[in-house]
Amino acid sequence: MKKIKFDLKTASSGFTLTELILVIMLIGIFASVGMTRTRDGIVSIRTQVAIDHITADIDLLRSMAFARHDTLTMVFSTANDSYTVYTGPDGSRSAVTDFSNSVSGVVSFQNAFFATVDITAVSFGGQPEIQFLPLGDLKSGGTITINTHTITLQDLTGKWSIN
């Protein structure tokens, strides 16, 4: 029988413990940086989705006011991060229960998806409401602040811009 000799210096081709620990540490650092950026990115995306949702509803409200030849109002609640859509002039309003993406006329951002979205301030002529008159004209211009972004609506036209 033939004996086989192994030379330990040339036979070991694995990694040392130090090299393995270093690689694991680098993976951990990259993962933590990636998770932080992902979380910040998700907050930004959810805020933009909320802004898009509100501006689309503003456009829809203006179109509905013109089409129905009726006064439509969007009343904001900063405490509940929501808004309710009403039909009719001041003093005789009723909720629009079939408004898009609403529950009995209330559109709320208090759910798990929009947990980081906060309607911080709303002011239209000193009131927390947007009102479109029967010809689709905005009663009073103003602003809506969501997190750090501001939606500004111009008087009369209702044209909005985001700062």
**Alpha carbon distance 25, 6 (integer Å):** 34
Tokens of 55: 């501006």
Whether the CB-CB separation of 81 and 125 falls below 8 Å is answered with no
Interval 29-45: pLDDT, tens:
888 887 776 666 788 88
- Mean pLDDT is lowest, of 63-67, 89-93, 141-145, for 89-93
Element spanning 151, H or E: strand 149-153
Collapsing DSSP to helix, strand or coil, 81 comes out as coil
Question: Does the pLDDT at position 6 exceed 60?
Answer: no
Residue from 3, 150, 130 nearest 141 by CA: 130
**Alpha carbon distance 52, 75 (integer Å):** 18
Specify the CATH class of 17-162 in words.
alpha beta
Interval 86-113: pLDDT, tens:
999 888 999 999 988 889 889 999 887 8
Rounded to two decimals, the pTM is 0.75
What is residue 107's predicted lDDT score, i.e. its pLDDT? 92
The Cβ of residue 8 has, within 10 Å, a number of other Cβ atoms equal to: 6
